[in-house]
Amino acid sequence: MAVTTGTTAGATGPHPTLASLATWLVPGAGHYMLGNVRLAAIGFVVIQGLYLLGVLLSDGLFLSILPPEMRGTFSPVLSPEAGNLGALLAHVQTVGYGGTEPRVWPSTIHVGVALTASSGILNLLLAARAHFDARARSAATVEGAAPHPGQAVLLAWLVPGGGHFLQGRRARGLVVFALLVGLFALGTMLAGTANLDRTRHFYYWGGQALLGPIALVWEQVVGHSIMEAPTRYDEAGVVIASIAGMLNVLVMLDVYGTSDARLFGRPVPTESGGDAGATGGVQAGAR
Amino acid sequence: MSDVGVHVALFLGVAAAVVAVSCMFTEADDARALRLFPRRYASFIVVSALITGAMIVLEHTLASIG
């Protein structure tokens, strides 16, 4: 199965690292440099649109969630919004922590911060896609039985295990879904839904946002509850829910690496270093 | 179940998920990944227990404020 990258195979172009760094700074910039103007435009509009809509709904106050003692020069870098670096830098320059006077958060702040966080995560996925497309462009042939790593990793974020399903590894996909969603459900139960609120747990929330829309939508449905009494294992619950999201990063790397290896005809990773499923594509001159 | 028992049970459960995902990441073949799991899980638990033991000893000696 040939993969369409929207660029010309065998052609010269920007270095893969440059393409992904450009995307990190400006969504779609990497694909623009690669000549894939359509994907560049879609990426820019969707990702910056999500960020802008999120800023409008949250009054741009997501950084003001941080308590004063946690506000530092590099504090925003640890948020999911850092995936959309250009937008975050502009945000820090213009709004920052929201000034010295306390402001009332709008009622739509929870939806707003979920959108800005999603924008950052999606842009990182686009940057990873730009890296693959740049390598594919310089390769003589990219052909193998695997979906595009960019599509697989996007689906893995949208639904944990979805990337494995797309690759035909259904049993693994089901196990991933059960493990990660189960872990997130366990954490939420232990925390008494206290984890489903970015204004309570700014950084732990960032970890669980990596689980994708399941965590974000779950939060909008049952989150932001008023805690009338302390929950016995709330701290453990918050940590466990965050771990579920961070484990999804490992899952996304697995999905990306497998598609990448299959399409370039390299052995997929194994502990023994052997070939556990390469599909015999032509060895490409990837950089 | 006692408080310590609940924490140990939670740790064992979360560790199982962490080790399972790391086995999948390391090994692309499902059968091989499944065979890796018991040894890795045991190693994870033993090393974590050793670190916990060292932390408890340090807490009751050097870091004790009591």
Task: Give the model's pLDDT for residue A280.
Answer: 36
Q: For A64-68, A153-157, A189-193, which range has the lowest pLDDT when averaged over its residues?
A: A64-68
How much of chain A exceeds pLDDT 70, in percent?
88
Check B10 against A243: CB less than 8 A apart.
no
User: Which DSSP string do the residues of A141-196 spell out, in sequence order?
Assistant: --B-SS--HHHHHHHHHHSTTHHHHHTT-HHHHHHHHHHHHHHHHHHHHHHTTTTS
Size of interface A-B (CB pairs under 8 A): 62
Q: Return the closest-CA partner of residue A17 out of A119, A124, A130.
A: A130
Residue of chain A nearest B13, judged by CA positions: A183
Q: Which residues in chain A are contacts of B21 at CB distance < 8 A? A: 176, 179-180, 247, 250-251
Helix (H) or strand (E) holding B51: helix B30-60
**Residue A271 and residue B18: Cβ atoms within 8 Å?**
no
Q: What is the mean pLDDT of residues A120-133?
A: 97
Residues A173, A165 contacting (CB under 8 angstroms): yes
The confidence score (pLDDT) of residue A119 equals 97
**Residue-wise burial string across A34-63, b where 16 or more C-beta atoms lie within 10 A, e elsewhere:** bbbeebbeebbebbbebbeebbebbbbbbb
- For residue A169, what is the nearest residue in chain B, using CA coordinates? B30
pLDDT of residue A3: 63
Q: Is the dihedral of CA A64, A70, A71, A73 positive or negative?
A: negative
The pLDDT value given to residue A9: 56
Dist CA A122 CA A78 (whole Å)? 16
Look at A247 and B17 and tell me if their CB atoms are within 8 Å.
yes
- Please, which contacts does A9-12 make with residues 24 or more away whose CB atoms are closer than 8 Å? A9/A136, A9/A137, A9/A139, A9/A140, A9/A141, A9/A142, A10/A137, A10/A138, A10/A139, A10/A140, A11/A137, A11/A138, A12/A137, A12/A138
Q: Is the pLDDT of residue A191 over 80?
A: yes
- Looking at the complex, does the CB of residue A251 fall below 8 Å from at least one CB of chain B? yes
A254 touches chain B (CB under 8 A): yes
Q: A 48-87 residues with CB below 8 A of B?
A: none
A194 Cβ neighbours under 8 A, 6+ residues apart: A200, A201, A225, A227, A231, A234, A237, A238
Query: Cβ(A75)–Cβ(A206) under 8 Å?
Result: no
Per-chain mean pLDDT for chain A: 88
- pLDDT for A135 beyond 80: yes
The pLDDT, as a whole number, for residue A38 is 97
State the pLDDT at residue A12.
74
- Is A191 near chain B, with CB under 8 Å? no
pLDDT score at A275 = 47
Q: Return averaged pLDDT per consecutive 10 residues of chain B, 66 residues in all.
A: 86 95 91 93 97 92 74
Q: How confident is the model at residue A251 (pLDDT cuts 50, 70, 90)?
A: very high
pLDDT for residue A284: 35
Q: Among A7-16, A37-46, A248-257, name the one with the lowest average pLDDT.
A: A7-16
> Which of the residue ranges A39-48, A132-141, B20-29 would you say has the lowest mean pLDDT?
A132-141
Tell me which of A234, A270, A279 to substitute to probe the interface with B (most B C-beta atoms closer than 10 Å): A270
How many angstroms separate the CA of residue A243 from the nearest CA in chain B?
8
Lowest mean per-residue pLDDT among A122-131, A236-245, A276-285:
A276-285
Q: Is the pLDDT of residue A188 over 80?
A: yes
CB A250 within 8 A of CB B21: yes
What is the C-alpha to C-alpha distance for residues A196 and A227, in angstroms, rounded to an integer? 12
Average pLDDT over residues A157-182: 95
Contact A277 B13 (CB under 8 A): no
**Cα–Cα distances in Å, from A146 out to A4, A204, A257?**
12, 34, 11
Instruction: Please report, for residues A180, A273, B22, the alpha-carbon distance to residue B38 in angstroms, rounded to integers and kept in the order given.
Output: 19, 20, 12
Q: Is the minimum CB–CB distance between A175 and chain B shorter than 8 Å?
A: yes
Question: ipTM of this predicted complex?
Answer: 0.88
Dist CA A276 CA B36 (whole Å): 15
